[in-house]
Amino acid sequence: MTPVWEIAALSLKVSLWAVACSLPAGIACAWVLARCRFPGKMLLDGLVHLPLVTPPVVVGYLLLAVLGRNGALGGWLHDTFGVSLTFTWKGAAVAAAVMAFPLMVRAIRLGIESVDRRLEEAARALGATPLRALFTVTLPLAAPGLISGALLAFARCLGEFGATITFVSNVPGQTRTLPLAIYTLLQTPEGETAAAWLAGVSLMLAILALATSELAARAVRKRLGRGT
């Protein structure tokens, strides 16, 4: 069995990459949903929420169908960039990112919606382009939502199981993250002690993530002058 710290490190790597890479898309999606009105908005909203309501195994299967070596996008990725997602930690990160995306978008959207639009108007009236207003007014003021969105997604990524095992299988050192390792150990005779250790580590990481989120949100709110 792989050492505990290696499994935890893999889980952290997968989750951090998943959050880091999906954050720009999450912010863009949240902004569009919070601030734009267009036909088909309901459709986008539904699409974003799909992983939340679909069984994770089904999401994993869909990812396999699209991003697998034989999938339309997966084949192209492999042929053009030589990138293969199947059975690698990158694939695990993709699965985690997709599963966590709805939670991330929801939290960021709430953060953006809490920003007074009149402040954005004031920024425009002072000569800011829409993009500058977004980066200098909307997003800084939506920071509490951004932080909670990122942390929520991070925690969701750490716990991701179903889509991962379906999409990229259970490869030690590549895709065997904490939940998959715990599952594997429970299937092994006398693996229960090790499983308990890993469960403890998972719990610790979750608490750490929560505490970080709370502290960061508090610091930001203080900076925004809103108190606690």
Partner 1 sequence: MLAVNARKKLAAFEWRGELRLGFGATALFGPSGAGKTSLVNMIAGLLAPDEGEITIGETCVFSRSRGIDLPPERRPVGVVFQDGRLFPHLSVRGNLAYGRRRGSLAPPDMSEVVERLELGALLHRRPMTLSGGEQQRVAIGRALLTGPEALLLDEPLAGLDGARREQVLGMLAGLSRDTGRVVLYITHRMGEVLRLADRLALIDEGAVKAVGTPRELLGNPELQSLTGRRSAGALLFCRMERTDAGDGLSRLSCGAHHLLLPRLDAANGSKVVLQVRAGDVALSLAPPQQSSALNVVAGAVERVLEEDEAFSNVVVDTGQTLWARVTRRSVRELKLAPGRRVYATIKAASLFSEP
Summarize as ranges the residues that interact with partner 1 (CB under 8 A): 116, 118-119, 121-130, 136-137, 140-141, 223-226
- Quick one: tokens of 146? 């951004």
**C-beta of 140 vs 191, nearer to partner 1:** 140
Nearer to partner 1, 133 or 185 (CB): 133
Identity of the residue, 141 or 201, whose beta carbon is nearer to partner 1 in the bound complex: 141
Q: For the CB of residue 221, give the shortest distance to partner 1 in the complex, in Å.
A: 11
Q: Compute the least distance from the CB of residue 146 to partner 1, in Å.
A: 13
- Our CB check for partner 1 shows the closer of 75 and 130 to be 130
Decide if 101 contacts 156 (C-beta within 8 A).
no
Q: What are the tokens at 29? A: 């999606």
Least Å distance, CB 35 to partner 1, is 15
13 vs 218, which CB is nearer to partner 1? 218
Minimum distance of partner 1 from residue 63's CB (angstroms): 39
- d(Cα 64, Cα 71) in Å, to the nearest integer? 7
Buried b (16+ CB within 10 A) or exposed e, 15-45: bebbbeebbeebbebbbbbbbeeeeeeeeeb
Per-residue exposure over 128-148, b if at least 16 CB sit within 10 Å of its own CB, e if not: beeeebbeebbbebbbbbbbb
Nearest CB to partner 1, comparing residues 208 and 224: 224
Nearest approach, Cβ of 117 to partner 1 (angstroms)?
Answer: 10
Nearest approach in angstroms of CB 122 to partner 1 is 4
